[in-house]
Amino acid sequence: EPPDTPKDFSCQTRDMKRITCTWKEGETYLYGQNLPQYTLSETSSQKTALCKGSCSKQCSCSWDIGQQWIWNVTVTVENPLGKKTATDVFDVNHRMYPTAPFQVWEDCTDTEITLHWNYENNEIELFCQTEVLQPDGKVELHNSSVAGSKRVTVRGLQPYTEYTARVRCGAAKYFWRWSEWSQPLTTRTKEGTPSGKLDMWREIKPVLGGRNVTLFWKQTPSFQANGKIISYEVIWEKIEDGSKPESISLSSVYNSTRIFIDNHSYRISITAKNNVNFSLPSVLIISRATNNSRKIVFCSFLGTEELKEGQVNGTGDGVFISWEPRSIYDSYIVDWCNFPRLQPCDLQWKRFGPNTSSAVISSAAFVPGVRYKFSIYGSVANRASLLEKKIGYLKELPPHLDPIVRKVDLTYNSVTLYWDSYFTNESEPGFLRGYHVYVSPIQGNCNLKGSKKHILSDEPELCKYTIENPEEKKYTVKHLMPNTKYKLVVKAFTGGGETPILNFRYIDTPSNSNMLYFVFLLVIVPTLVAAICHWKMEWVKECCCPVIPSPNKSKVLSFKEFKIDSEKVLKINDCLPDMLAMDSNAEAQKL
């Protein structure tokens, strides 16, 4: 193909002595002696070539400026199939492309860096720009305020912080383009006084004659060391009598210490020290110990009552805790142990503002099945008071053990199970919520009234009863069948469920004794009476149906209405006699 018009053709100078023109080469699919030839010449006199172009990654051609400042340059590209041209008209003074600055060095204070540099052509007045890379990855650009200046001061930096800077320049009078960047320079500002305060907390344990106070501290996001911390200074003094303060200096590798104080009120402060100065003190007030300081108490305007531990729940990414806000406090503190089963337990704490009444406490050390204790404190004027205590799990797991059934009471249609009180302690993997009782006949599925179905793999259906009272120690399963073999088990469950069912207890219900008694009454007793009556037929006949009734022997005459004084009397109108014999008129009148 014939050549394309050269693209991006432009000319510039780097030292005001020599001009270099560049352009992009097009594809002609010709090789060897047929490759395109590039020639640069003055447009007004194209017979005189300024230079022959060469192409590698980019085509270029250079020549000396001499005394000429205004140029009208044409590049001609030609091959056997044709030729094309491109033109650039320019003033050399307007096409200055400086070389990159070199020999960059710095002067530092704790908040400023002054960069210095050199460049090759000092006769040209340049305007320079500095790029500063911040520790967080952000980039800031700073322009030199004076043209021709070989330095720039960057202010507002953080003490004892590493920065990376580089410089580039352009013509001050007729700006054409920036030079390349200089080699990057990495430097660190000097140390300054620490800013902010350490976050301090304490753990108090009463001992004979006073209290052991373990102090903990950490750097917060608002605290800036502004240098290398070399030590921590801890000072404690009595508040009441103004006695001489005591102090201790600790290496920077420590973040806790233990001190002993008596039962008076104390003011404790801690400061961080670097090579320049101390930070502002962080202060805690330890109140005077009381007679019941060994007990956990909660003081409120309603009086004093013993603190109870409330249960809290895990959220998957932490443990959700809430507390009752109180207007008298300016902040709240929640503390806990990352490893409650170890000593030391790695005490941690977190502070919250006065308008916060709940939080999700998270830690990389939290694991499922471990009970964590949380204490909530209210703080005012650096004096903290225990408000509430909580216990909870990141995630509850099934209990380690099941209750042991100690006694079984059987009837023909029920079974009553008795088990020991379930022993719960801090090692339990969840809060005990209650019990499940599972029952099933050996043969077939279970369908007892009042139960729910529970299906096990490769097992018949079980009947499931739920007891939601963890304090319950017995349960009666009703509606069983007499003379039947059953299997049953009692399982404890937590918020994490229960362990798989592995072992059953087997029972046999007795026969129904009430049914036998009923049969005895309906069959045996009447049969026995009939036999006796048959055996004593004459006596029964004489007793119940005599030929001549005897008033004194007749059972019919045993009622009160048939008695006069001590005599038994048969009223005439109650029967129809065959004949009447009158003993005497006097007796007849009496009757």
Distance CA 16, CA 96 (A): 7
* 41-85 residue pLDDT tens: 987 666 678 888 888 778 999 999 888 889 999 999 888 888 889
The pLDDT score that the predictor gives to residue 421 is: 80
Instruction: Give the pLDDT mean for 261-270.
Output: 94
Instruction: Give the pLDDT mean for 237-250.
Output: 90
Distance CA 200, CA 214 (A): 11
* 418-432 residue pLDDT tens: 998 877 788 899 999
Which of these, 105, 93, 123, 98, lies nearest to 181 by C-alpha position?
98
- With a cut of 60, say whether residue 559 has pLDDT above it: no
403, two tokens: 């209750």
How much is the mean pLDDT over the chain? Answer: 86
Residues 473, 484 contacting (CB under 8 angstroms) = no
Q: How many other C-beta atoms are found inside a 10 Å radius of the C-beta of residue 238?
A: 17
Q: How far is CA 479 from the centre of its chain?
A: 47
- With a cut of 80, say whether residue 549 has pLDDT above it: no
pLDDT grade, residue 263 (50/70/90)? very high
* 116-175 residue pLDDT tens: 999 887 778 888 999 999 999 999 999 887 777 888 999 999 999 999 999 999 998 889
Residues 177, 170 contacting (CB under 8 angstroms) = yes
Q: What percent of the chain has pLDDT over 70?
A: 86
Residue 447 CB partners (closer than 8 Å, separation 6+): 461, 463
Domains annotated on the chain, with CATH:
7-94 (2.60.40.10), 102-188 (2.60.40.10), 198-286 (2.60.40.10), 310-393 (2.60.40.10), 405-509 (2.60.40.10)
The amino acid that residue 207 corresponds to is V
Distance CA 515, CA 508 (A): 18
The pLDDT score that the predictor gives to residue 225 is: 93
- With a cut of 60, say whether residue 293 has pLDDT above it: no
Distance CA 173, CA 77 (A): 34
pLDDT grade, residue 569 (50/70/90)? low
Q: How far is CA 579 from the centre of its chain?
A: 112
- Alpha helix (H) ranges present in 446-559? 513-519, 525-535, 537-544
Q: What percent of the chain has pLDDT over 90?
A: 53
- With a cut of 90, say whether residue 347 has pLDDT above it: yes
The pLDDT score that the predictor gives to residue 420 is: 87
Supply angle C-alpha 201, 204, 209, rounded to 5.
145
Q: Which residues of 511-549 are buried (b: 16+ CB within 10 A; e: fewer)?
A: eeeeeeeeeeeeeeeeeeeeeeeeeeeeeeeeeeeeeee
**Residue 516 — φ and ψ, nearest 5°?**
-65, -40
E-strand stretches of 401-511:
405-410, 415-419, 432-441, 452-454, 462-467, 474-477, 485-494, 505-508
Instruction: Give the pLDDT mean for 430-441.
Output: 92
* 502-538 residue pLDDT tens: 888 999 988 876 655 665 667 777 788 778 777 767 6
The pLDDT score that the predictor gives to residue 301 is: 35
Distance CA 409, CA 478 (A): 12
Q: How many other C-beta atoms are found inside a 10 Å radius of the C-beta of residue 324?
A: 10
Residue 21 CB partners (closer than 8 Å, separation 6+): 9, 10, 11, 12, 40, 60, 61, 62, 73, 75, 88
Distance CA 15, CA 231 (A): 56
Q: Which residues of 60-71 are buried (b: 16+ CB within 10 A; e: fewer)?
A: bbebeeeeeeeb
- With a cut of 70, say whether residue 555 has pLDDT above it: no
Choose between 131 and 449: higher pLDDT: 131
- With a cut of 60, say whether residue 259 has pLDDT above it: yes
- With a cut of 70, say whether residue 563 has pLDDT above it: no
Residues 46, 53 contacting (CB under 8 angstroms) = no
Give CA separation, 92 vs 21, 74, 335, 450, in Å: 12, 15, 73, 102
How many CA atoms lie within 13 Å of 16's alpha carbon, on the beta-carbon side?
12
- Environment class of residue 312 by beta-carbon count within 10 Å: exposed (0-12), middle (13-18) or buried (19+)? middle
The answer for 293, left when phi > 0, alpha when psi is -120 to 50, beta otherwise, is alpha
- With a cut of 90, say whether residue 575 has pLDDT above it: no
pLDDT grade, residue 386 (50/70/90)? very high
- With a cut of 90, say whether residue 339 has pLDDT above it: yes
| pTM score over 0.85 | no
pLDDT grade, residue 260 (50/70/90)? very high
E-strand stretches of 345-382:
347-352, 358-361, 371-380
